Amino acid sequence: MRPEDLDALAAASMALSRLLLASPDAATLARLHAAAEQGDWPLLGSATAQRGLALLARSAEAGETAEVVHRDHNRLFVGPEAPLAPPYESVHRSEEGLLFEAETLQVRAFYARFGLQVPRLGREPDDHIGLELELVASLCLGALDALEADDEARAQVLLEGLGTFLDEHLLAWAPTLLTQVAQGARTWFHAGLAELGRALLEELGPLRASTRPAQA
C-alpha cells in the first residue's frame, strides 16, 4: 500500500471517529461545511464519498446549526430514548444486545496488542464505532511511520493486524450501523456522515484479512 493511501485512510478514519464520538461544536461544524462546499475530504475516489460530501454541502446550504446537529446526534447515538443507531459493536453482535459484552473485551485486547487503550478505560465501552475508527487510524499511521523508516516488517505486522481487525470487528457490524444512521437521520449532516462512513469502509474492504492474497 502506498504511503499516501495510508495517510488518507488515517485522516478519514480520525475525522469520522471524532464526529461519531461527539457532535461538532459551532466552529467545527462551520469548518466542515466550508470543506464540503470546497470539495475537501481525504477520500474522494468514489461515488459514495462524493455523495456524502454533497450532503454535507446541503447541510451548509440549509443552515443546519450545531444545536440541530447535536439533537440529531443524540437521537441517533445517545438517547435519552433508545438510540436509533447504537454505536457499540456488542449491541449489534452479542446475543443479548448489551454493552460490555465479549465483543467489547475482544476489542480492548486488540488495542492492548498494539500498546493502546481507550481514554476512559472501564467507563466507556471500547467498541464504540468512533473508538474502533481511531484504532484503524492508529494502525494506518503506525504502518506509514514504519514505511518511512524503511521498517517493512513492522509495517507488515501493523497492516496484518488491521486486516484481522477489519474482518473480526469493524466490517462485521459497521455497515449495519451506517444504514441505521442513513435511515434515521433528520439532518443532511448525518445523512452525509453515513455516506462518508460507507465510503471509508469501501476503501478499507480490500485490506481485510480474508481478501488479502496469501503470502508466498
Q: Where are the domains of the chain?
A: 3-205
- The model's pTM is 0.90
Name the residue with cell 484503524.
136
Cβ–Cβ under 8 Å, residues 102 and 108? no
CATH of domain 3-205: 1.10.3480.10
Q: Going by C-beta distance under 8 Å and a sequence separation of 6 or more, which residues neighbour residue 162?
A: 136, 139, 140, 143, 207
Give exposure, 33-46, as e/b (b: 16+ Cβ within 10 Å).
Answer: bebbeeeebbbeee
Would you write out the chain's pLDDT as a tens digit for each of its 216 residues?
789 999 999 999 999 999 999 999 999 999 999 999 999 999 888 999 999 999 999 999 999 999 999 999 999 999 888 999 999 998 888 766 556 567 778 888 888 888 877 665 545 678 899 999 999 999 999 999 999 999 999 999 999 999 999 999 999 999 999 999 999 999 999 999 999 999 999 999 999 876 655 443
Name the residue with cell 492508529.
138
pLDDT at 79: 86
pLDDT at 216: 38
